[in-house]
Amino acid sequence: MGGIFPEIGGGQMSGGYWPEGVKRHLRYPRIPVFQLLRSAAALWPGRNALVFGGMELTFRELDLLSDRFAAALADMGVGKGDRVGIHLPNCPQFAVAYYGLLKAGAVYVPLDQHLSERELLYQLRDAEVETYLGLDITFRMPRRVLPRTPVRRVILTSLTDCYPRVSRPVKPLRQASFPPLAADFAELLSYYPEEPPDISFDVERDLAHIVYTGGVAGRELGVMTTHFNVVANCCQFTHWFAGGVVSWRKGRLEVRWPAGDGPERHVVRRGAEVSLIVVPWTHVMGIVAFFNIQVMNGWTMIVSARFDPEQYLLDIGKYSATGFGGPPQLFVPLMENPAFNRKNLEDIRLVVSGAAPLEPQVLRRLMRRVPGLVCEGYGLTECTMGCTANPPSREGVRPGSVGLPLPDTEVRLVDPLDGRTAVRKGETGEITVRGPQVTPGYWRRPEETARVYRDGWLYTGDLGRRDGDGFLYIVGRKKDMLICKGFNVYPHELEEVLRGHPSVAGAVVVGRKDVRYGEVPIAYVQLKPGESAEPGELMDYANRRLARYKRIRELHLVEELPR
């Protein structure tokens, strides 16, 4: 391939492709998540862990500040297993608080910045969050919600604390006054010593996260994620892209290299990369791929609270970034920016896409501009973050595929109706997963847990197929599957056809019960701004491209797509 790192070839193993230099089985350190930071602070104490606005924090500084926050929480009465909600954008305070609460034995509950009042109330109540960390300038809505929740401790912070006093007056920031009973995050860090409580952990049982998702279960539930789940998933992806075998020795994660292998043969290097971070740390992709894996490997994070394509491209050059990534929605506006084709991307070693399907044409365009690896994977909250990835080499990537199972991960496709019979290669089946990253279940929801986690397997509700080499392709969602005249119809396919019309911005296809056919597909379509089209025209466009049994029976134009 040429470019900035050597190629790693692939070979055939057990009847399927498996990338060279990647082990099928690993050993996973039995350590709590915060030891990833302890290790980085020991290995790279003076290296910047993150850069945000005017603030830089080294790994040692991040470790010490999180010790202080852990001491503060312990003194405030937070104990092992208590839930702490973080309701912040990506910022240094988030990083300090995350590792600090874990050091105090507490459980991280991410609270997305875009939650509605109803959603925030539900999550705080359901997880029984007693400690809330929020932002001063967005506290108006949470202030109305908190009295109706179990929250007993409120800690607030300000982004103005991240900028030097000299430049702060000219920054487009404002600071709001704190309510009388709210603790000031910065003052807590100033007051408390670097003396975290001494907590013992059973990493395979003790929770690190409770993350809310509506994915597999169909309604919002808290996914319990253990310390072992998080560390294992970090180790799987680290080995996939950086090689070597990690072990815990003398308070740090050390790497052993098999004969004939070494860091120069792999995509990324420990203690050497610089990543642009915009994926929210309240998302599993953010907190695992774009936070914990970064820290584990000593990579510097250039952190932004929001995505600005122009600034993002400027930061690539300003910080000599070697990696970036996120959901597919990040790449399209990035590539549409006129500066994208002029930007020197020669230092980029790894671009990661996940959380939603990446269109093959977008992948190919990225690969034309980026000399390093552009890799798409697949995962879900119930498997901590990820369970498959494309091979760690340019020639191994297959556009449209989410790749191969990670080490120690089994992916099985079963009949969507009986949930047991394995389907043949090339046929569509429900994706089931087994591995060290599969979480134990839903927070206080035994019935939903029993339905989704069966006989050691996670039933994802996603439908996929495999090619002859074992590469996985996502087809759609099981719960969206219709049976029309005895045939399986997948709304995802119909939606893709409708989105191919030049006037269509988006489409949702649902099933409606029908006495004659069982179920029939009904479409809801949102047009692009300034475009016009008649429902009949759009139905004709789609139905000409579909088998008879898949044809759309009704189509409605809507201002906003149903969720």
Kindly write down the DSSP assignment for every residue of 465-521, as one continuous string.
EE-TT--EEEEEEGGG-EEETTEEE-HHHHHHHHHTSTTEEEEEEEEEEETTTEEEE
What pLDDT is stored for residue 439 in this prediction?
Answer: 99
Q: Using CA of residue 333, residue 339, residue 344, residue 347, what is the dihedral sign?
A: negative
DSSP secondary structure string for all residues of 391-403: -SSGGG--TT--B
Q: Are 353 and 388 in contact (CB under 8 A)?
A: no
Q: Which of 520, 523, 498 is nearest to 509 (CA)?
A: 523
Residue 7 has pLDDT above 80, yes or no: no
Q: What is the CATH number of domain 35-200?
A: 3.40.50.980
What one-character DSSP code corresponds to residue 136?
A: G
Taking the C-alpha atoms of residue 504 and residue 524, their distance in angstroms, rounded to an integer, is 11
Where is 62: in which H helix or E strand? helix 59-75
Question: How much is the average pLDDT of 209-217?
Answer: 79
The answer as to CATH 3.30.300.30 being correct for domain 482-557 is yes
Residue 215 has pLDDT above 70, yes or no: no
Entry pTM: 0.84
Taking the C-alpha atoms of residue 340 and residue 348, their distance in angstroms, rounded to an integer, is 13
Q: Are 393 and 373 in contact (CB under 8 A)?
A: yes
What pLDDT is stored for residue 172 in this prediction?
Answer: 55
Give pLDDT tens digits for 85-99.
999 999 999 999 999
Q: Which of 388, 394, 476 is nearest to 428 (CA)?
A: 476
Question: Could you tell me which residues come within 8 angstroms of residue 303 by beta carbon, excluding any fewer than 6 positions away?
Answer: 50, 51, 52, 90, 91, 92, 277
- Residue 8 pLDDT level (bands cut at 50, 70, 90): very low
Q: Which of 408, 348, 362, 358 is nearest to 378 (CA)?
A: 358
Q: Are 145 and 159 in contact (CB under 8 A)?
A: no
Give pLDDT tens digits for 517-547.
778 999 999 999 999 999 999 999 999 888 7
What pLDDT is stored for residue 305 in this prediction?
Answer: 85
Give pLDDT tens digits for 144-160.
999 999 999 999 999 98
Q: Where are the domains of the chain?
A: 10-15+216-477, 35-200, 482-557
What pLDDT is stored for residue 515 in this prediction?
Answer: 64
Give pLDDT tens digits for 310-356.
999 999 999 999 999 988 778 888 988 988 888 899 999 999 988 77
- Residue 4 pLDDT level (bands cut at 50, 70, 90): very low
Give pLDDT tens digits for 290-311.
999 999 999 999 999 888 999 9
What pLDDT is stored for residue 177 in this prediction?
Answer: 67
DSSP secondary structure string for all residues of 144-211: HHGGGSS--EEEEE-GGGGS-TTTGGGSS---PPPPTTPEEHHHHHHHS-S--------TTTSEEEEE
Question: How much is the average pLDDT of 199-210?
Answer: 98
What pLDDT is stored for residue 152 in this prediction?
Answer: 97
What pLDDT is stored for residue 347 in this prediction?
Answer: 95
CB atoms within 10 A of CB 519: 16
Residue 124 has pLDDT above 80, yes or no: yes
- What percentage of the chain reaches a pLDDT higher than 70? 92
Q: Are 522 and 511 in contact (CB under 8 A)?
A: yes
Residue 195 has pLDDT above 50, yes or no: yes
Strand, coil or helix: what is 360?
helix
Name which residue leads in pLDDT, 239 or 545. 239
Residue 283 has pLDDT above 80, yes or no: yes
Give pLDDT tens digits for 360-391.
888 888 999 999 999 999 999 999 999 999 99
In the chain, how many H helices and how many E strands? Answer: 15, 31
What pLDDT is stored for residue 327 in this prediction?
Answer: 83
CA angle 56, 61, 63 (to 5 degrees): 130
Taking the C-alpha atoms of residue 554 and residue 524, their distance in angstroms, rounded to an integer, is 9
Same fold, 10-15+216-477 and 35-200: yes
Identify the CATH class of 10-15+216-477.
Answer: alpha beta
Question: How much is the average pLDDT of 205-222?
Answer: 82
Q: What are phi and psi of 210, to 5 degrees?
A: -125, 110
Residue given tokens 């395979």 in the structure block: 204
Give pLDDT tens digits for 490-506.
788 899 899 999 999 99
- Residue 174 pLDDT level (bands cut at 50, 70, 90): low
Residue 269 has pLDDT above 70, yes or no: yes
Residue given tokens 């309510």 in the structure block: 179
